[in-house]
Amino acid sequence: MGKITPSAASAFRSRTAVLLTALTLLLSVNACGVIAENESREQSSAAITSPTATPIPTPAPTPTPGKGPACPGLRCTSITVTGDMLVHTQLWQQARADAAAAGQPGYTFVPLLEGQRRYISNSDLGICHQETPVAVPDGPFSAYPSFNVPPQIITAAKDVGYQACTTASNHTIDRGTEGLLRTLDTLDAAGLKHTGSYRTEAASKEILMLKTEAATVAVIIGTYGHNGQIPEYPWLVDELDPAVMIAKAAQARAAGADIVLGVMHAGDEYASEPNAQQQEVAHALVDSGQFTMIYGHHTHSVLPIENYKGTWIVYGLGNGVTELSPWYVVNNEGLLVRAQFSENAAGVWTASDLAWAPSVIVRDPYRWCSVASDAPQGVCASPAADAETRLRTQSVVESMGAAAAGAHELLITKEK
């Protein structure tokens, strides 16, 4: 190897210095680029997480307290139900006289039902029970045992505030399929929703869903029989079959029902307690977990109210309207029930209040009259008779522990 001269060494050192300077500059530029990129990311992250940024607001639920008693939660709805609309000869004679007194042709049952208006108007939903088929407006009409009554009873029900009626009963097919269809046509013309009897098999599979401001309410009914008659088609009228009713309730829940009412048309006429069928069916419906409340009619007498596993069962509402019976005093009495339902934090609706008002039918003129202790219509029959009716009704209503469970008399005059 040759020797490195001083001049060559000097040149080598000079080239090395230049290379080191260039490498230092290159590293410096790269480092600045990385730093700049990191700073940009940090600034971007800071912009996203800055406490001064405006978050997207979550809309607050709208309070919907509903009508009736004070709502214990954010959302409530109340439902009023009454017993059999049972129109006999004396009632349509009264309706004709009331129409004539008002200078109207035909028949009007509005004065007969007028006392119910105040109760229905202080609830979010009113449901009646159309016990019998209706005739054409001018008749001919007939009463027991095969009813065909003036259709003006339906328009009167609408007038005083009902929004829907159930139609399954032991008299639904008194006038065959034709009478059943005529009744449905009359309900539709009056603007009343209905369930229990149907025009088609497809319609029989649908669920009546009623809307209030706060909730969706499903109504499912069944009748114990048809007085020995056989419907032309098996789907014409809803039967009292717990399995079918429970399946319909599940269908209603899947379709968005918040509250499901189970309705029974069953029991022993003029009784003061439910029979085995009523109790077995009602308890089966409650045990399914699909129903929010159960109520019934048919016996033409007031029956007890029971709180079974936290669910109210109103076994019998008595008569909504009827002519006076000279043999059965209980036939002339009825029960109006208003249930308030509220939604809890989990979104489950349960009854938060159950109130009842005793009623009686009076004559000359025929009228439905509340005998509740606040006497909203004044004296009905006489002070003594009204007190006797109220006491008799209360003793039956509370005979299965309803008062201890929280059911109470409805004093409509004390509400706003």
The per-residue pLDDT for range 308-325, each reduced to its tens digit, is 999 999 999 999 999 999
Q: What is the C-alpha to C-alpha distance for residues 167 and 175, in angstroms, rounded to an integer? A: 14
Using the predicted structure, report yes or no on whether residue 36 has a pLDDT greater than 50: no
Using the predicted structure, report yes or no on whether residue 205 has a pLDDT greater than 70: yes
Using the predicted structure, report yes or no on whether residue 44 has a pLDDT greater than 70: no
According to the model, what pLDDT value does residue 12 have?
36
Using the predicted structure, report yes or no on whether residue 5 has a pLDDT greater than 90: no
User: What digits encode the pLDDT tens for the residues 235-245?
Assistant: 999 999 999 99
Position 30 confidence tier, pLDDT thresholds 50, 70, 90: very low
Using the predicted structure, report yes or no on whether residue 57 has a pLDDT greater than 90: no
Bridge partners (DSSP) listed for residue 221: 263
According to the model, what pLDDT value does residue 53 have?
58
Greater pLDDT, 100 or 345: 100
Q: What percent of the chain has pLDDT over 90?
A: 84
User: What digits encode the pLDDT tens for the residues 377-414?
Assistant: 999 999 999 999 999 999 999 999 999 999 999 999 99
Token pair 């603007």 is found at 191
User: What digits encode the pLDDT tens for the residues 124-173?
Assistant: 999 999 999 999 999 999 999 999 999 999 999 999 999 999 999 999 99
pLDDT (average), residues 320-342: 96
**Pick from 189-193, 323-327, 339-343, 371-375: least confident:** 323-327
Q: What percent of the chain has pLDDT over 70?
A: 86
DSSP assignment of 191-247: T-EEESB-SSHHHHTS-EEEE-SS-EEEEEEEES--TT---SSTTSB-B--HHHHHH
**Pick from 24-33, 213-222, 309-318, 371-380: least confident:** 24-33
Position 416 confidence tier, pLDDT thresholds 50, 70, 90: confident
**H or E element in which residue 101 lies:** helix 89-101
Q: What is the largest CA-CA distance in the chain?
A: 146
Residue partners of 340: CB distance under 8 A and separation at least 6: 66, 68, 69, 71, 76, 77, 78, 351, 352, 353, 354
According to the model, what pLDDT value does residue 95 have?
98
294: helix, strand or coil: strand
pLDDT (average), residues 357-379: 98
Q: What is the C-alpha to C-alpha distance for residues 139 and 162, in angstroms, rounded to an integer? A: 24
pLDDT (average), residues 338-350: 95
According to the model, what pLDDT value does residue 264 have?
98
- CA 85, chain centre distance (Å): 20
Using the predicted structure, report yes or no on whether residue 6 has a pLDDT greater than 60: no
Residue partners of 398: CB distance under 8 A and separation at least 6: 304, 305, 407
CB atoms within 10 A of CB 381: 16
Greater pLDDT, 296 or 5: 296
Q: For residue 384, give both structure tokens.
A: 């003594």
Residue partners of 8: CB distance under 8 A and separation at least 6: none
Please give the span between the terminal C-alpha atoms of the chain, in angstroms, as a whole number: 118
pLDDT (average), residues 56-83: 89
Using the predicted structure, report yes or no on whether residue 8 has a pLDDT greater than 90: no
Tell me what the pLDDT averaged over the chain comes to: 90
> Helix (H) and strand (E) counts for the chain?
11, 15
Q: For residue 105, give both structure tokens.
A: 């042709």
**Which pTM value belongs to this model?**
0.86
Using the predicted structure, report yes or no on whether residue 27 has a pLDDT greater than 50: no
Going from the N-terminus, what domains does the chain have, and what CATH number goes with each? Answer: 76-414 (3.60.21.10)
Q: What is the C-alpha to C-alpha distance for residues 12 and 128, in angstroms, rounded to an integer? A: 112
pLDDT (average), residues 204-212: 98
